């Protein structure tokens, strides 16, 4: 088998996903806008393909004549159809990158160029030892910075639909679905595309600065807050597998997220000192709420009893400092330790934001850092 055929085989799932999404979108356009609009979109699509692939100048003339004859409403329908198809293709391509990355990992391939694992392997190959790497991470400083511009264009409602579609494609890719499960997945995919089609693409009103802050922070829910701990854990595992002395070490906080949203004092008249304070408070609420939810979930899972498992002295001290005096958890040091951690997070939340979190702590505690 040639390399070309191998490459084509690897891209076959991508083409299948694009065909699937295109078919669902086409069915949606036909059902919502009528056969005439669907036929118009198909005519434009086919003429475009003929011109692009075969340099068919007759197809170009047909395309120009069709586009020039469009009414305002027809133009809007065509623009929406091709815009949403572009969105769906981007989702399929993103999923294909994930698919290929997983395939490389499953096959045990060498780390791919551009990954942190590849950079770390290059450092190992260059003879860098633990001391040099530790010194590097002590001084390393990586700061991705969020700006308001993507959030001005991308509506969160559109992004939510795209996330659902991506999850459904991922489900089809990773699981061998039964016929009933496949039907349910397809129906959910059809609903998501229908919702996308029925969602207004553009905002009718300009976002306020605090709207931009909220939109920007929504990206944290499925990126930084969940992925950064995995990134650190993966790096620490790779380092400790190379040198056991790393097993007792934690990487310093070298990757920090920055943001201009709500704080760009470069002439924006709407970014005032009050807005800056609100932006910082909103960021604090986002991260503290996430941590409290995670600690609460962890506490519900770590029900281990002291008579059945051992606990370190440090864990027992943490449990002993907890304000949790419930007799029902007296022999559950992990839960008592976590209720203490939660209480301090809740106190920090109240100190910074001026009100209690939605889920109260079992008892009062000192905040993590006093003002």
Distance CA 87, CA 93 (A): 10
Residues 137 and 236 in one domain: yes
Instruction: Give the pairing type, strands 258-259 and 145-146.
Output: parallel
Span 229-257, pLDDT tens digits: 999 998 998 888 888 878 777 889 999 99
Q: Does 350 fall in a domain?
A: yes
CB 185, CB 171: distance < 8 Å: yes
- CA distances 237 to 87, 225, 330, Å, are 36, 19, 34
State the pLDDT confidence band at 6, using cuts at 50, 70 and 90: low
Give percent of the chain above pLDDT 90. Answer: 57
Eight-state DSSP code of residue 259: E
Eight-state DSSP code of residue 367: -
Residues 302 and 364 in one domain: yes
Q: What is the pLDDT of residue 354?
A: 93
Q: Does 259 fall in a domain?
A: yes
Domain count, the chain: 2
Greater model confidence, 266 or 144: 144
Sign of CA dihedral 267, 273, 278, 281: positive
Q: From 271, 286, 312, give the residue that closes a domain.
A: 271
Residues 129 and 260 in one domain: yes
Q: How many CB atoms lie within 10 A of CB 333?
A: 24
Q: What is the pLDDT of residue 188?
A: 97
Residues 251 and 307 in one domain: no
Q: Helices (DSSP H) in the chain: which residue ranges?
A: 3-33, 35-54, 57-68, 72-106, 116-125, 130-139, 149-153, 156-174, 179-198, 209-218, 224-242, 273-301, 313-320, 333-353
Q: Does 140 fall in a domain?
A: yes
Q: Does 215 fall in a domain?
A: yes
Q: What is the pLDDT of residue 53?
A: 87
Distance CA 299, CA 318 (A): 14
Distance CA 361, CA 116 (A): 39
Q: How many CB atoms lie within 10 A of CB 298?
A: 14
Residues 304 and 357 in one domain: yes
Residues 132 and 236 in one domain: yes
| pTM check: above 0.75 | yes
Q: Does 335 fall in a domain?
A: yes
Residues 341 and 260 in one domain: no
CB 362, CB 323: distance < 8 Å: yes
Q: What is the 3-state secondary structure (H, E, C) of 338-364?
A: HHHHHHHHHHHHHHHHCCCCCCCCCCC
Range with the poorest average pLDDT among 145-159, 162-176, 239-253, 335-349: 145-159
Q: Does 29 fall in a domain?
A: no
Span 306-354, pLDDT tens digits: 888 888 999 999 999 999 888 888 899 999 999 999 999 999 999 999 9
Return contacts of 166-173, CB within 8 angstroms, 24+ apart: 166/91, 166/94, 166/95, 168/192, 169/17, 169/91, 169/92, 169/95, 170/95, 170/98, 173/13, 173/95, 173/99
Q: From 222, 256, 271, give the residue that closes a domain.
A: 271
Residues 267 and 133 in one domain: yes
Q: Does 301 fall in a domain?
A: yes
Residues 316 and 360 in one domain: yes
Residues 150 and 245 in one domain: yes
State the pLDDT confidence band at 149, using cuts at 50, 70 and 90: low
pLDDT at 42 over 70: yes
- Write out the two tokens for 23: 């078919």
Q: From 237, 271, 305, give the residue that closes a domain.
A: 271
pLDDT at 169 over 70: yes
State the pLDDT confidence band at 179, using cuts at 50, 70 and 90: very high
Q: What is the pLDDT of residue 7?
A: 57
CB 256, CB 142: distance < 8 Å: yes
Residues 327 and 216 in one domain: no
Residues 213 and 337 in one domain: no
Q: Does 9 fall in a domain?
A: no
Instruction: For residue 165, give the nearest of 184, 182, 183, 190 by alpha carbon.
Output: 190
Q: What is the pLDDT of residue 3?
A: 42
- Which secondary-structure segment (H or E) carries 142? none
State the pLDDT confidence band at 154, using cuts at 50, 70 and 90: low
Instruction: For residue 228, give the nearest of 248, 254, 259, 261 by alpha carbon.
Output: 254
Q: What is the pLDDT of residue 2?
A: 39
Domain span holding position 367: 296-371
State the pLDDT confidence band at 207, using cuts at 50, 70 and 90: confident
């Amino acid at each position: 088998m040639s390399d070309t055929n191998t490459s084509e085989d690897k891209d076959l799932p991508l083409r299948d996903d694009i065909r699937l999404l295109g078919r669902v979108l086409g069915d949606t356009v036909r059902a919502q806008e009528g056969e005439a609009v669907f036929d118009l979109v198909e005519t434009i699509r086919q003429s475009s393909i003929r011109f692009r692939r075969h340099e068919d100048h007759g197809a170009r003339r047909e395309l120009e004549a069709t586009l020039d004859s469009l009414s305002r409403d027809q133009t809007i329908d065509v623009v929406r159809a091709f815009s949403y198809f572009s969105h769906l293709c981007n989702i399929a391509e993103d999923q294909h990158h994930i698919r290929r990355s997983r395939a490389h990992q499953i096959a045990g391939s060498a780390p791919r160029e551009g990954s942190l694992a590849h950079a770390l392997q290059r450092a190992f190959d260059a003879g860098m030892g633990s001391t040099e790497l530790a010194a590097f991470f002590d001084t390393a400083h990586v700061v991705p910075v969020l700006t308001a511009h993507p959030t001005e264009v991308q509506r969160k409602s559109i992004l939510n639909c795209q996330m659902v579609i991506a999850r459904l494609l991922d489900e089809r890719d990773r699981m061998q679905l039964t016929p009933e499960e496949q039907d349910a997945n397809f129906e959910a995919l059809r609903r998501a595309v229908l919702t996308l089609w029925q969602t207004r693409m553009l905002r009718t009103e300009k976002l306020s600065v605090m709207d931009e802050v909220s939109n920007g922070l929504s990206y944290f829910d499925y990126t930084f807050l969940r992925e950064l701990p995995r990134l650190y854990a993966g790096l620490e595992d790779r380092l400790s597998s190379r040198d056991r002395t790393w097993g007792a070490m934690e990487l310093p906080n070298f990757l920090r997220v920055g943001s201009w949203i709500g704080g760009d004092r470069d002439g924006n008249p709407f970014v005032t000192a009050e807005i800056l304070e609100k932006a910082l408070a909103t960021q604090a609420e986002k991260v503290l709420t996430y941590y409290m939810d995670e600690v609460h979930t962890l506490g519900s899972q770590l029900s281990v009893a002291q008579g059945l498992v051992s606990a370190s002295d440090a864990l027992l001290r943490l449990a002993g400092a907890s304000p949790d005096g419930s007799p029902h958890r007296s022999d559950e040091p992990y839960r008592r330790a976590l209720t203490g951690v939660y209480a301090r997070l809740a106190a920090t939340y109240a100190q910074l934001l001026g009100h209690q979190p939605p889920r109260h702590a079992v008892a009062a505690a000192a905040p993590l850092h006093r003002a």
